[in-house]
A and B are shown apart, each in its own frame.
Chain A
């Protein structure tokens, strides 16, 4: 079991460039989440997918789009990167949407936008 995997691990972009962060889980979980982590601010939810075929905005969705490709994969796209999107991005999955369950996190993608 690899758990939650994320690619790439590191990325440097120039302002205006686009990229897609990939996330996959092999635990047959229904719900998946994208967070960003900034110093002193904890983790903030960008988008989530409660189940395959559904996506919803979180706390900070502006500048991002997501795709729940199938039950395993949930990608995050930056269409036109901005320096304010410099952050560490974490993908997480959870067995079901109820909060009885804990979330499992990937290792993160460290993104720098110049």
Chain B
């Protein structure tokens, strides 16, 4: 069965420090991987995606993610965290042409001043 896992329920980081939110996947075939962010009482917003090509993907708001095929990981990173980055982050993956995504359980990012 295909799955996406986010091993940390919550990540705490000080403002200005680098942040990493972890994601691992088990998807058959060539995976398509996404990161979404959810602010309180809002829908999910797209951050970035990996389809093919360069393993380092850059997205919105200074976020980037690194696709690592050997470790089946797609960790979200940012060099310098902002308090406004505090939100719930979802990793999602899929394969083929179904358009169906499998979501991880979400990681709450808390950035403290």
A interface residue numbers (CB < 8 A to B): 4, 31, 33, 35, 40-45, 48, 50, 58, 90, 92, 94, 96-108
For the complex of A and B, list the 3 residue pairs with the smallest distance between their C-beta atoms, beginning with the closest: A105-B43, A42-B103, A97-B99
Contact among B45, B90, B94 with A43 in the assembled complex (CB-CB below 8 Å): B90
B103 touches A99 (CB 8 A): no
B103 touches A48 (CB 8 A): no
B46 touches A99 (CB 8 A): no
Complex interface: chain B residues within 8 A of A40 (CB):
9, 105-106
The answer to whether A90 and B99 touch (CB under 8 A), given A41-B105, A42-B104, A42-B106, is no
Number of A-B contacts (CB under 8 A): 67
Given contacts A103-B44, A108-B43, list 19 more A-B pairs with CB under 8 A: A31-B99, A40-B9, A41-B105, A42-B90, A42-B103, A42-B105, A42-B106, A43-B44, A43-B90, A44-B103, A50-B99, A94-B99, A99-B95, A102-B49, A105-B45, A106-B43, A107-B41, A107-B42, A108-B42
